[in-house]
Structure 1
Amino acid sequence: MPKVTEQYREAKREEIADAALRCFAKKGFGASMADIIAESGLSAGAIYGHFSSKAEVMSAVARSVMGTRIEDMQTLRTRERTPSPAEVVTRILSALEVDLAGTGLLLQVWGESVTDPSIHAIVDGVFGELRKSYEQIFAEWVIAERGLGETEAKHWASSLAAVAIGLGQGYIAQSALFPDFDGIAYLATASELLPH
């Protein structure tokens, strides 16, 4: 039997995570492993060869979606000019809704995280990575644009990162709950309120 490469295993995990994301978007977080298996078109053995539980699949989905946004921030950091907090938050939120094809799924995950320790650990880990990325890029910006020292910049960036995450959570919640929510206006106002 030919040896399976790590690259192949990673591609298969991504394929399963993509199928799970489609399944969760259609059926909500209550979708079962059987639903994910059906959506993927793979056998149960193939799925369980890569993931031991639905929580593990959910973790892969969350890391895939947020990982792309974190990679976006790292790409922004390599520009000649570090983008402002307003530019960063607007870009991340605009792209997040496209990734999720609607934001209701995130609300369901957050709700589950209140009572399910394994889901809570996933949410905590993903948002911890997001916060760290916001803090890095915000600190670089405020040092370059406002001349703050490193210690002061870290404190400022940490406080602003909490606000940026809150703005994101507000955007996600309102876009999922209110049919007349104007996401464009929300992003424009958020951009005006954040440092340029």
Structure 2
Amino acid sequence: MPKISEARRQARRAEIMAAALRCFARNGYRGTSMADIIAESQLSAGAIYSYFASKKELIRSVAGSVLEGREHELDSAGEDHVLEPAEIAITLIRGLRAHAPISALLQVWSEASVDSELRVVLNDVIGRVRTTICQQLEIWAHTQQTIDDPAAWAQHVTPTLLALVPGYVMQTTLTDNFDDDDFLRALPELLRGSA
């Protein structure tokens, strides 16, 4: 049997994780079985289990992948120009919106509240995202004459800016008639007085 390339292997992993995300969004984490993920992916059980030994391993990989992608997007966006606080939040939210069913994020976060291993994974990835946000905020703070200590200010406001993301996810998922585009348009107005 021919050996598959690493690129093909990564593509197959991504395909399985996307199928799992769709199932989690539709049925919830607890309501999704490996059989559901197998059916959604249209792959054999053997193919799925050769990549992921269990649903728990799969959700850990999905969570890590979704959040790590946002870290890279922030780094890339900050290469072109200094990101304002609202741009940081919008970049995170748009990245989540483009790469994961938003309702599945609540499922992952909910599961992390009772699964200590998943919580460790999320803490690690969220910690790296938080560091990236803090770095971007500090760069912006250096451009503001009203901020005396940009590093301290960035450390202080990072958790609050990061909290906008789960607030968006919760409202998108749970609030009827929530206008997510209006939420994004309002962020610059809200954060204009960030300093």
The alignment's TM-score, normalised by the length of structure 2, stands at: 0.87
Distance, in Å, in 2 between the alignment partners of 1:26 and 1:73 is 29
164, 175, 179: which one aligns with 2:172: 175
Q: Confirm or deny that 1:126 pairs with 2:95.
A: no
SS in 2 for 1:115: coil
Structure 2 match to 1:100: 100
1:84 CA drift (Å): 0.7
SS in 1 for 2:113: helix
Q: Deviations over 1:77-136 (max 9, x none)?
A: 211x212111121232133223333x2222222222111112212322232122111011
1:154 CA drift (Å): 2.4
Structure 2 match to 1:90: 90
Q: 1:16 to 1:170 in 2, by over 3 A?
A: same
The alignment's TM-score, normalised by the length of structure 1, stands at: 0.87
Structure 1 match to 2:5: 5
Q: Would the aligned equivalents of 1:90 and 1:191 in 2 still touch at CA under 8 Å? A: no
Structure 1 match to 2:140: 141
Distance, in Å, in 1 between the alignment partners of 2:124 and 2:56 is 13
Unmatched 5+ stretches in structure 1: none
| Residues 1-196 of structure 1 aligned to structure 2 (within 5 Å) | 1-30=1-30, 31-79=32-80, 81-101=81-101, 103-146=102-145, 152-194=149-191, 195=194
Q: Deviations over 1:31-80 (max 9, x none)?
A: 1111111111111111111112212211222222222222211111211x
1:147 CA drift (Å): 8.4
Q: Percentage identity across aligned positions?
A: 37
Unmatched 5+ stretches in structure 2: none
Letter in 2 for 1:192: E
Aligned length: 192
1:146 CA drift (Å): 4.0
Distance, in Å, in 2 between the alignment partners of 1:52 and 1:63 is 16
1:153 CA drift (Å): 2.3
Letter in 2 for 1:88: I
Q: Would the aligned equivalents of 1:37 and 1:44 in 2 still touch at CA under 8 Å? A: yes
Letter in 2 for 1:114: S
Structure 1 vs Structure 2 CA RMSD? 2.1
